Amino acid sequence: MPQSVLADTVRCLEAFAAEDTPWRPLKNALPDLRDRVDWLDRQIDRIPQPLVAVLFGGTGTGKSTLLNAIAGAPIALTGEHRPTTEEPTVYHPPAAGEEFGPARYVESPVLDDLILIDMPDTDSVKVEHADRVQQLLKKADVVLFCGTQQKYKNEQSLILLRPLKDERKIVCIQTLADQDADIRQDWLGWLRKENFLVDGCFRVSAQRALDRKTGAGAGNEFEFPALEEYIREKLPPERARIKEANIAGALKNTLTALERRLDGSKKNLETAREVIVKAEQAVAHGSMVHLQDRLLNEPHVWIGAVGNAVSERSFGVVGTLFRVLHWIRMAPSRIAGRLSLSSLLRTFNRPAEEAGAGVSVPDESEGYLRHLAGRFSREHAEVNAYLARAGFPTTPFAEWCARYAGELRQRLDEALAPVQARINRRARILTRWILPLLDLAWFVPFAFTIGAPIYQYYAHLVLDAAVVLPEAGFLGRSASMLGAILFIELALFAWLVRASGRGLRKRFKRQLLKELEAGGFGFSAERAVVQQALDQIGRVDEIRSQLSSAQ
């Protein structure tokens, strides 16, 4: 797999691991994931460095003898007593910068681009040996798994190797070939059953090879020459390919482990999301019913609001009469307190000076809205139960009530804003167009009443025409007709204001319903964290499919 794809995938995982989450299954997985991502990062940086091959196996499987045979000198301690190797021997090319902790470091005159480490055993009474092996395996690229006829299906070795499946190249070496029968087929079959991919298998007599090299004797070395050639000549040029394959395997294992940890919770997350959607609907519906009782079933609130906006802009005779009428109509409400327009509005909204005229948004709402939130304790408890089951921290009811109040206030404001604008627009239309028309409508008969006698008088002066004096009672009748006209106009105007108020009430109701039913009301934070967790599962899937498609 190309190095760039590996680096990209590690970067994606790094960004994923850096995010904080309240979701417990992921939160618990993050420390391990971060360690793993750091390790993967280092592995990518290590690609240009020499390959690290480790001699791995149970005690007495001839690991140290094999290292000596390759080195051609007794650089590692071998012996009859079990276990023999207490500290690793690192056989390395000159100036290889790797650090493997406390170990015997021996510079090789012949090894190029390869570090060979003789490790302690995996299965002796000294359990610290297995710990040391585990540490060294983290830095290994190739595992040279040594086994003898007596010790090849070694469970303790497998315990150390299992987590590294597909993350290390594994080569099997049957040692002590001069003594033992060939067990390779059985050994490889067993490893295959354990789902290990083995890249090669050699049967060698390291002792005889060492004897030859040190001049102590000669004999059948079995496949030692082929193994030596493989280690010295074939592995080093494959360095980058081996390391990349290991990193790809490690990435796959990391993603599989993460998916396994998260997938188990997916069902709970989906159920929690459904419960939240239902609770949101219930809360929106309940809030709407209540608000309808309080705010929307009071048409005079809206009529009064339009009336306020209109009377502020009123002019002319009808306008002034309306203003006086409106002031008188509103006076008892202002004095009476709770049932008054302003006090009712104050229940819901913020200070009047902030909102201006019309349906102002006065203060002291938090207490009332929190009180309203108290009705939804059942929904809150249900959502909390499902959130807890899905692995989220839960919100105390008091805290939720405060959040609900804030959200409801915001929705009310959002629903009010367009209605408020409409109130002002209506008031402008009523005062700019209707009022002048109404004033014109009373002015024409008024002008006629006043104009007729004046006309008669001038006609008499200029044309010498006979003066036709108005009949007795003309002015009285005219005045009462004018009064009637003004009364009808005022009534008509007041009716228009009322109709506007009622219409706007309906509009606000529709707007508020839209706001509340838009979703995410009441449990938006809960909905967001559940969605975030589901998205995170989706992102792990995405990273995995990117990796698979690059293979």
Ligand X SMILES: Nc1nc2c(ncn2[C@@H]2O[C@H](COP(=O)(O)OP(=O)(O)OP(=O)(O)O)[C@@H](O)[C@H]2O)c(=O)[nH]1
Residue 228 lies near ligand X (rule: CB under 6 A): no
CA 29 to chain centroid, in Å, comes to 16
- Interface with Mg ion, residue 156, by CB under 5 A: no
Binding residue for Mg ion (CB under 5 A) from 9, 85, 265, 340?
85
HEC string of 397-459 equals HHHHHHHHHHHHHHHHHHHHHHHHHHHHHHHHHHHHHHHHHHHHHHHHHHHHHHHHHHHHHHH
Cis peptide leading into residue 109 (ω within 30°): no
Under rule CB under 6 A, residue 123 binds ligand X = no
Minimum distance, C-beta of residue 135 to ligand X, in the bound complex (Å):
16
Least distance CB 539 / ligand X (angstroms):
44
Dig out the tokens for 409 from the structure. Answer: 């206030």
- Residue 384 binds ligand X, judged by CB under 6 A: no
* Token digits of residue 260: 């396994």
* Minimal distance, residue 84 CB to Mg ion, in Å: 5
Site string for ligand X, 194-213 (x = CB under 6 A): -----------xxx------
Structure tokens at 78: 């071998």
Cα distance between residue 539 and residue 551, in whole Å: 19
Strands 114-118 and 89-92: antiparallel
Q: Is 154 in the site for ligand X (CB under 6 A)?
A: no
- Name the segment binding Mg ion (CB under 5 A); options: 84-92, 186-194, 316-324, 493-501: 84-92
Question: Are the C-beta atoms of 149 and 111 separated by less than 8 Å?
Answer: no
205 counts as binding Mg ion under rule CB under 5 A: no
Question: Closest Cα to residue 104, out of 115, 119, 88?
Answer: 88
Residue 84 touches Mg ion, criterion: CB under 5 A = yes
Q: Is 155 in the site for ligand X (CB under 6 A)?
A: no
AA letter at 344: L
Residue closer to ligand X (CB basis): 125 or 462: 125
Comparison of 30 and 77: residue with beta carbon closer to Mg ion: 77
The binder of ligand X chosen from 22, 72, 74, 83 (CB under 6 A): 83
Chosen from Mg ion, ligand X, none, partner binding at 333 (C-beta under 5 to 8 Å by type): none
Q: In this chain, which of 65, 265, 384, 420 binds ligand X, going by CB under 6 A? A: 65
- Of the residues 178, 382, 413, 541, which one makes contact with ligand X according to CB under 6 A: 178
Q: What is the DSSP letter of 58?
A: S
CA distances from 543 to 234, 256, 398, 536, 538 (A): 33, 11, 40, 11, 9
Sheet containing 114-118, strands listed edge to edge, beginning at the edge strand earlier in sequence? 104-107, 89-92, 114-118, 51-57, 142-147, 169-174, 198-203
**String marking each residue 30-69 x if it binds Mg ion according to CB under 5 A:** ---------------------------------xx-----
Q: Which residues bind Mg ion (CB under 5 A)?
A: 63-64, 84-85
Q: Which residues bind ligand X (CB under 6 A)?
A: 59-65, 78-80, 82-85, 120-121, 175-176, 178-179, 205-207
